[in-house]
């Protein structure tokens, strides 16, 4: 077997190992990537210069534009998606929480599973160095996912896969081993602008550009001010944590999607049946208990109460 055949075989086995851990889709990109990576870096710079990041100062980390700073000698990127779509609806009048946070903390789930993949790779290539990255790492993650062929960046800025839609969280395994790259994804949004037109706060100011200062998820999760802006509170509907409107309206999410049977993605009972009375009456200790192993820990108890008090109605829409 020549070196190219060995590389192809290792790459295929690595992707199969990732699928065995519940990831789908999976793909590989080579560093430094195509010219589109540079275009995405330039787009990020313009986005930051416009102040679209709000108070999310970590978005300015220079490592985000230089993947080599995350792992010395990085040669390849394994990109994976984890489906979090559950074919279930909250009860009428329940407050709404972004689907990505219904189950266990996806950061921990992805990290644990990808570490198994990394250790497997190291067992095959003793000198291989690797690092797991999720969205808390300063990686230009959606650009590298697009480069690895697992989806394209939609006009709502979420990654879309033609088979799985956009209901997936992303993970990455950076490694020093040269692997066989997949073809980068081609954007398939076409002239559609449903996500733009249906955003209640006009946060999608132009295709692919989200102004966090106008975005409901940003304010319900990241905003640390005691009172939410009026334009946000009047547009929240029943969204107390996050907002899925731009994804719910996306045509790529209208087909018969696979409902995840992954145990870690199944919704916690309180998450899909949350009432305003509960939010306001639970003690800080009760909130601490509820938020164990949840990606919603960023929302402090006082913020849950602030968000609930900002919601104008809990009537069924």
Q: Which of 114, 142, 175 is the last residue before a domain boundary?
A: 175
Active site residue 135: yes
Q: Is residue 97 part of a domain?
A: no
Q: Is residue 95 part of a domain?
A: no
Q: In this structure, what token pair is assigned to residue 296?
A: 């919603």
Q: pLDDT tens digit string along 28-81?
A: 999 987 888 888 888 888 888 888 888 787 677 777 878 999 999 999 999 999
Residues 142 and 284 occupy one common structural domain: no
Residues 154 and 277 occupy one common structural domain: no
Residues 145 and 60 occupy one common structural domain: yes
* pLDDT for position 170: 98
Where does the chain show beta strands of DSSP type E?
26-30, 76-83, 96-97, 130-133, 152-153, 159-160, 168-175, 204-206, 209-210, 239-241
* pLDDT for position 1: 67
Residues 130 and 261 occupy one common structural domain: no
* Set 8, 105, 135, 262: catalytic member: 135
Residues 160 and 229 occupy one common structural domain: no
Q: Is residue 222 part of a domain?
A: yes
* pLDDT for position 46: 87
User: pTM value?
Assistant: 0.93
Q: How far is CA 151 from the centre of its chain?
A: 13
If one counts the domains in the chain, the total is: 2
Residues 143 and 206 occupy one common structural domain: no
* pLDDT for position 317: 40
Which regions in the chain score pLDDT beneath 50? Answer: 315-317
* pLDDT for position 236: 96
Q: Residue 290: give the domain boundaries.
A: 194-310
Residues 143 and 73 occupy one common structural domain: yes
* pLDDT for position 56: 82
Residues 130 and 229 occupy one common structural domain: no
CA distance linking residue 160 with residue 153, whole number of Å: 6
Residues 125 and 258 occupy one common structural domain: no
Q: Is residue 317 part of a domain?
A: no
Residues 149 and 261 occupy one common structural domain: no
Residues 154 and 290 occupy one common structural domain: no
Q: Is residue 216 part of a domain?
A: yes
Q: pLDDT tens digit string along 262-296?
A: 999 999 999 999 999 999 999 999 999 999 999 99
Q: At which residue do the structure tokens 């559609």 appear?
A: 192
Residues 162 and 15 occupy one common structural domain: yes
Q: Is residue 185 part of a domain?
A: no
* pLDDT for position 43: 87
Q: Is residue 187 part of a domain?
A: no
* pLDDT for position 44: 83
């Amino acid at each position: 077997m020549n070196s190219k055949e060995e590389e192809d075989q290792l790459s295929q086995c690595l992707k199969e190992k990732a699928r065995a851990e519940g990831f789908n889709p999976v793909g590989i990109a080579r560093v430094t990537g195509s010219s589109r990576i540079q275009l995405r870096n330039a787009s990020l710079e313009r986005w930051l210069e416009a102040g679209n990041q709000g108070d999310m100062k970590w978005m300015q980390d220079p490592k985000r534009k230089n993947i080599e700073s995350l792992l010395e000698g990085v040669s390849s990127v394994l990109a994976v998606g984890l489906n979090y779509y559950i074919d279930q609806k909250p009860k009428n009048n329940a407050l709404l929480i972004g689907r990505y946070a219904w189950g266990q903390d996806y950061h921990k789930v992805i990290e644990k599973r990808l570490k198994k993949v990394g250790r497997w790779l190291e067992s095959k290539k003793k000198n291989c160095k690797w690092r797991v990255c999720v969205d808390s790492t300063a990686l230009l993650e959606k650009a590298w996912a697009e480069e690895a062929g697992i989806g394209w960046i939609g006009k709502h800025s979420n990654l879309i896969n033609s088979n799985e839609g956009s209901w997936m969280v992303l993970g990455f395994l950076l490694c020093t081993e040269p692997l066989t790259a997949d073809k980068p994804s081609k954007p398939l949004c076409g002239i559609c602008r449903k996500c733009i037109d249906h955003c209640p706060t006009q946060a999608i100011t132009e295709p692919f550009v989200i102004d966090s200062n106008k975005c409901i998820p940003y304010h319900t999760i990241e905003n640390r001010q005691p009172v939410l802006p009026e334009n946000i509170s009047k547009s929240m509907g029943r969204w107390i944590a996050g907002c899925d409107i731009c994804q719910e309206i996306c045509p790529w999410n209208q087909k018969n999607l696979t409902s995840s049977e992954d145990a870690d993605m199944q919704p916690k009972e309180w998450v899909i049946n949350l009432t305003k009375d509960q939010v306001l009456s639970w003690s800080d200790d009760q909130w601490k208990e509820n938020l164990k192993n949840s990606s919603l820990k960023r929302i402090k108890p006082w913020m849950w109460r602030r968000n609930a008090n900002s919601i104008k109605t809990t009537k069924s829409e």
